[in-house]
Structure 1
Amino acid sequence: MRKILLLLTLALGGFVFGQSSLNMSLLGRSTYMNDNSDIWGYTDSVGTEYALVGTTAGVSIVEISGNQPQKKQFIQGPNSIWRDLKTWEHYAYVTHDNPFAWNTIPEHGLLIIDLDSVNQASPRYKTINYAIPDTLGGYDTLKTAHNLYIDENGYCYLFGANIREGGALIFDLNDDPWNPTYVGMWDTYYLHDGMVRGDTLWGSAIYEGLYVVVDVATKDSAYMMASKGTPNAFTHNAWISDNNQTLFTTDEVGGAFLTAYDVSDLSNMTELDRIQSLPGTTVIPHNAHVYGQWVVTSYYTSGVQIVDAKFPELLVEVGYYDTSPNYFGNGFNGNWGAYPYFQSEKIICSDIEEGLFILEPEYVSASRVHVQVVDSITGAPLSNAIVEFDVADIDGLSSIDGLADLGTPLSGGDSVSISLSGFVTAELAYNWLPGAFDTLRVALLNVNNIGIDDEQLPAITMYPNPSNGFIHLAGLDRANYVLSDLSGRVLERGTVHEEVMQLRGSYASGQYLLKVLSNKGIHTFPLMLQP
């Protein structure tokens, strides 16, 4: 939940924007006459960083190593909403989807740009309209594709092309990156997007509402190993974690999620967690990319989000930057894509209307806690207990197993309140531990057990409460006591003399349980200490 905002007022191009952000700051920006689409990054042999920006009119190549971005080249292409880009060695590979009806520029098929020519007067590039075998012994001409990906082994995959179903067309870049060789296809479903690692393709069958897992070890006979539906049944994007155990997907509809799945066993893939940007609104997620333990995701009207996925069963938002303050909620305006893979750790974003953003992120490790709420007498789990952290400003309900998992980008001191009808509210100090998944066990005292364990026992009165450790127990001459915290951990044992007791230890402010044992029975009191 976005409760911490850094409001930046930026006067750019005659307009004033109020940007909301957390753990991300603006380094530079560049605007365009045309709308933007996707984005990718490139670093040359001497370490100069470039943004490759798709626009409706072509490809913009922008140097971003300095304080201000410098547009170096623009390569015009068919006018289209959709343009996607990837790199291999010193080449960029670019696709576009269906052009506008009024477009007069021939369709590119696959555009290849020699990025070593960026500083030349005329950049070196070419287009290839491949002849792809059809099912009748003839050929189809490659004209458009929605997206592409290049794996670590030098194979380029075109998705959503105008060929057959629009699955994945596979090209080998290894022998001659300037002249890729067509080597096969997988064509069971139309794929909107995909990524490949090793011999496994993780594809987004958007119109089926599925992510698909495809074995591409043999390029001309790829086959599907598994598939699974995504929460909003419009699977736009899928990206695998660095350890190949967790898959992250987005659905391109309003109010959808970034969702994490355990894919370690393809025969039993299970959802782990899901998270939104601006929960309660209808903002649309677009493209997610894994960067170490984090997932960097573009959302149309709310910009870019960083999620800590170190523990994918509890995804925690730890950063964001709104590139599009003039738009809110549903709609296909705003941030199209975000690229997080520069060695400098810059993130570049392509906002459809606002242009190129160069951001400096702080990658924060989230703090997480596994709260266990139980009955202090029976030890039974308590469901529907309200768990509220004050400083982190987050809350949750305990499950049927008495569990509530919560996380925050914050670290350090906080206080937590655990309340449930029929039980004494517990208030505790808590310390958030970044990078850890802590456990906090809280035992709530049933109101029927306050001060007495047996309704027939004589009444005992305890005062003052809150106390500094000096306590009166009216009605008790001699007794033994046990002081414990709300988790049930015994802190101190001692005796009561002539209705008075004094705690020997020094304890932090908070709520404790005082159990008194005498010839009058066993009495349990909630005790608030204020040293």
Structure 2
Amino acid sequence: MRTVLTSIFTLSIILIQAQTPCVNGMAGLYPCERIDLQYFMPLSEMDDAPGLNDIWGWVDPIDNKEYALVGMLDGTAFIDITDPLSPIYLGELPTHSSASTWRDIKVYNDHAFIVSEASGHGLQVFDLTRLRNVINPPELFDEDAHYNGFSNCHNIAINEESGYAYPIGTNQASGGPLFINIQDPMNPTLEGSYGDLFYSHDAQIVSYNGPDPDHQGKEIYFGFHGNSAEGLVIVDITDKTDPESLSTSGYDCQDYTHQGWVTPDHRYCFVNDELDEGQFGYNTRTRLFNIEDLDNPVLIGNYEADVTSTDHNLYTLDGRAYMSNYTSGLRVVDYSLLDNEIMEEVAFFDVHPSDNNAGYSGTWSNYPYFPSGNIVVTHRTDGLFIVKAQDLSEIVPSQAINTDICPAELSVNELETMSFNIAPNPTRDFITLTAEKDIKQIDIIDITGRIIHSELLNLYAGSAIRINLDVLEQGAYLVAINKDFRNTRRLIIE
């Protein structure tokens, strides 16, 4: 009997991994709509990787082969997905220093540029053309170049048109973007930085071709500045020695401005706030900014999903936004009629079928830019999904955007009574906690949701206290007070 059960279990795993069309709302075990599963690669097929995070892609200009560049806790994996039904795990580039939950990868001129929150990691450079010659996979690769002008880094953005890389959230320039010339990929050269508005959590940099005549042809930085009041930050960084701030845009019900992406016509910017769903209790929300005037962006409303998952990373392509929203998986949202205030989900693939709750399990990110139409999606603890949307061309969106920016029941007074402040942030070994209401307890939570530090306090409204945090490792955390885990602030330990 045990042999029979084992055989059934093994067969089910094989079926889950193989190509599985989305039929009647399911692709095998996974809820879906109009997206088919091409292949699932579990961590066991990736040298038992301890976990995944971010992802990017590369297309070989010689033979058009497609490769997924997959961030792992302890390095970067390279996977040939040219045949999406039979992908090949080619090997791993180990981390430059130590393991970390956070790793980010971007590509310029057939080279991968890799950063991590691990202390001492710096910037790894890897020549992707080496993947053409892998004879006996998997291989253990080494880096081709390394830049040590910073230690840890949360993200990296690259403008492929200008040949500049922008590490963000480093231990330099108050966490603002660094300007690194990578036109010679093997010799990254620092040319400037912008730390006036402090820590940046993520960014996109474009050579601007949008409708604002004052800034056409300029190199423009769109920054997403974490728990700072600025939220969306737009800067002209054409002159690397003299960047010019154009605008900052906070918003109601703002908690942690995590990431965003502009539309290819540079008319809109979609912004994800990572903590607002858990904080305020509404469904998954993406802020929609009209950026036709870069000096005066206008928040026109929210896209609101029908689930409560936490949003994380999104990208735009051909009138659709590809959203990785943790527990609810990959969501494809049509914004082609946004001029008419219409934006609607047209497809999804849920890589985390157990729930759609606010939280940090499930997908970290996706890469939708392969010419084949295949999309790669990372699941933090399960593995890599290769999926492909069915024909979406006949679907006409009809859902109106939500123009109720902040729910009426969350009045300004209520938000103020819920709030507290921590500084400095980022920090190394302590914070000053300022109370706007009485605080009896503080809890610090890691990204897995585990409480790793608690203190009982007797802090009254209007007072402050210094809290030593030298026991915490480098990384990102949440701070909660009075056991109210919907009232949190993001904390970065450098």
* TM band (smaller chain): 0.5 to 0.7
2:194 pairs with 1:186: yes
For 1:96 and 1:219, locate their aligned partners in 2 and report how far apart those are by CA, in whole Å: 24
Query: Runs ≥4 in structure 1, deviation > 6 angstroms?
Result: 13-17, 394-399
For 2:402 and 2:71, locate their aligned partners in 1 and report how far apart those are by CA, in whole Å: 44
Q: Is the 8 A contact 2:57 2:367 kept in 1?
A: yes
Residue equivalent to 1:367: 396
Residue equivalent to 2:370: 342
SS in 2 for 1:125: coil
For 1:398 and 1:278, locate their aligned partners in 2 and report how far apart those are by CA, in whole Å: 16
Residue equivalent to 2:176: 167
Q: How many Å apart are 1:350 and its aligned residue?
A: 0.7
2:93 corresponds to which of 52, 56, 75: 75
1:126-525 to structure 2, matched below 5 A, reads 126=144, 128-131=146-149, 142-151=150-159, 152-174=161-183, 176-188=184-196, 189-198=198-207, 199-209=219-229, 210-230=231-251, 231-253=253-275, 254=277, 255-279=283-307, 281=308, 283-312=309-338, 313-362=341-390, 364-365=392-393, 366-368=395-397
SS in 1 for 2:58: strand
Q: How many Å apart are 1:396 and its aligned residue?
A: 11
Q: How many Å apart are 1:124 and its aligned residue?
A: 4.9
Q: Is the 8 A contact 1:108 1:128 kept in 2?
A: no
Residue equivalent to 2:489: none
Q: How many Å apart are 1:398 and its aligned residue?
A: 13
Q: Is the 8 A contact 2:301 2:401 kept in 1?
A: no
State the AA in 2 paired with 1:40: W
For 2:293 and 2:402, locate their aligned partners in 1 and report how far apart those are by CA, in whole Å: 31
State the AA in 1 paired with 2:82: S
For 2:402 and 2:362, locate their aligned partners in 1 and report how far apart those are by CA, in whole Å: 34
**Residue deviations 1:111-145 (CA, integer Å, cap 9, x gap):** 111111123466452453434xxxxxxxxxx1111
Q: Is the 8 A contact 1:114 1:124 kept in 2?
A: no
Residue equivalent to 1:376: none
Q: Cα–Cα, structure 1 residues 117 and 311, in superposed 2: closer, same or farther, change >3 Å?
A: same
State the AA in 2 paired with 1:163: Q
Residue equivalent to 1:23: 34
For 2:402 and 2:356, locate their aligned partners in 1 and report how far apart those are by CA, in whole Å: 29
**Residue deviations 1:337-362 (CA, integer Å, cap 9, x gap):** 01000111111101101210001113
Q: How many Å apart are 1:177 and its aligned residue?
A: 0.9
Q: Cα–Cα, structure 1 residues 397 and 123, in superposed 2: closer, same or farther, change >3 Å?
A: closer
Q: Is the 8 A contact 1:327 1:334 kept in 2?
A: no
Q: How many Å apart are 1:18 and its aligned residue?
A: 2.2
**Residue deviations 1:267-324 (CA, integer Å, cap 9, x gap):** 4322233223333x2x100011011211111010010111111122211111110011
**Residue deviations 1:329-381 (CA, integer Å, cap 9, x gap):** 02111000010001111111011012100011136254256xxxxxxxxxxxx
Residue equivalent to 2:106: 86
For 1:307 and 1:116, locate their aligned partners in 2 and report how far apart those are by CA, in whole Å: 34
SS in 1 for 2:241: helix
For 1:30 and 1:224, locate their aligned partners in 2 and report how far apart those are by CA, in whole Å: 44
Q: How many Å apart are 1:256 and its aligned residue?
A: 4.2
Q: Is the 8 A contact 2:54 2:104 kept in 1?
A: yes
For 1:316 and 1:214, locate their aligned partners in 2 and report how far apart those are by CA, in whole Å: 30
**Residue deviations 1:204-258 (CA, integer Å, cap 9, x gap):** 0112150100101101221211011145331111211111111111011234412
Q: Is the 8 A contact 1:299 1:336 kept in 2?
A: yes
Q: Compare the two structures and name the one with the higher helix fraction.
A: 2
Q: Cα–Cα, structure 1 residues 80 and 367, in superposed 2: closer, same or farther, change >3 Å?
A: same
Q: Is the 8 A contact 1:239 1:289 kept in 2?
A: yes
**Residue deviations 1:48-103 (CA, integer Å, cap 9, x gap):** 1011100111111001011222100111112000000001111100000146xxxx
For 1:89 and 1:218, locate their aligned partners in 2 and report how far apart those are by CA, in whole Å: 22
How big is the alpha-carbon RMSD for the aligned residues of Structure 1 and Structure 2? Answer: 2.5
1:38 corresponds to which of 42, 45, 54: 54
**Residue deviations 1:458-484 (CA, integer Å, cap 9, x gap):** xxxxxxxxxxxxxxxxxxxxxxxxxxx
Q: Cα–Cα, structure 1 residues 395 and 337, in superposed 2: closer, same or farther, change >3 Å?
A: closer
1:113 corresponds to which of 126, 132, 137: 126
Q: Compare the two structures and name the one with the higher strand fraction.
A: 1
Greater Rg, structure 1 or structure 2?
1
TM-score after normalising by structure 2: 0.66
**Residue deviations 1:28-64 (CA, integer Å, cap 9, x gap):** 1111131100000111121110111001111110010
For 2:261 and 2:116, locate their aligned partners in 1 and report how far apart those are by CA, in whole Å: 21
Q: Is the 8 A contact 1:29 1:68 kept in 2?
A: no
Gaps of 5+ in 2: 1-10, 18-27, 208-218, 278-282, 405-494
State the number of aligned residues: 346
Q: Cα–Cα, structure 1 residues 396 and 251, in superposed 2: closer, same or farther, change >3 Å?
A: closer
Q: Cα–Cα, structure 1 residues 396 and 202, in superposed 2: closer, same or farther, change >3 Å?
A: closer
For 1:396 and 1:349, locate their aligned partners in 2 and report how far apart those are by CA, in whole Å: 26
State the AA in 2 paired with 1:144: N
TM-score after normalising by structure 1: 0.62
For 1:12 and 1:143, locate their aligned partners in 2 and report how far apart those are by CA, in whole Å: 40
RCO higher in structure (CA 8 A, sep ≥6): 2
Q: Is the 8 A contact 1:277 1:302 kept in 2?
A: no
Q: How many Å apart are 1:395 and its aligned residue?
A: 10
State the AA in 2 paired with 1:171: I
Q: Cα–Cα, structure 1 residues 398 and 306, in superposed 2: closer, same or farther, change >3 Å?
A: closer
For 1:357 and 1:234, locate their aligned partners in 2 and report how far apart those are by CA, in whole Å: 28
SS in 1 for 2:312: strand
Q: Is the 8 A contact 2:300 2:403 kept in 1?
A: no
SS in 1 for 2:377: strand
Gaps of 5+ in 1: 1-9, 100-106, 132-141, 370-393, 400-531
SS in 2 for 1:258: strand
Q: How many Å apart are 1:397 and its aligned residue?
A: 12
For 2:403 and 2:224, locate their aligned partners in 1 and report how far apart those are by CA, in whole Å: 34
Q: Is the 8 A contact 2:55 2:69 kept in 1?
A: yes
Residue equivalent to 1:422: none
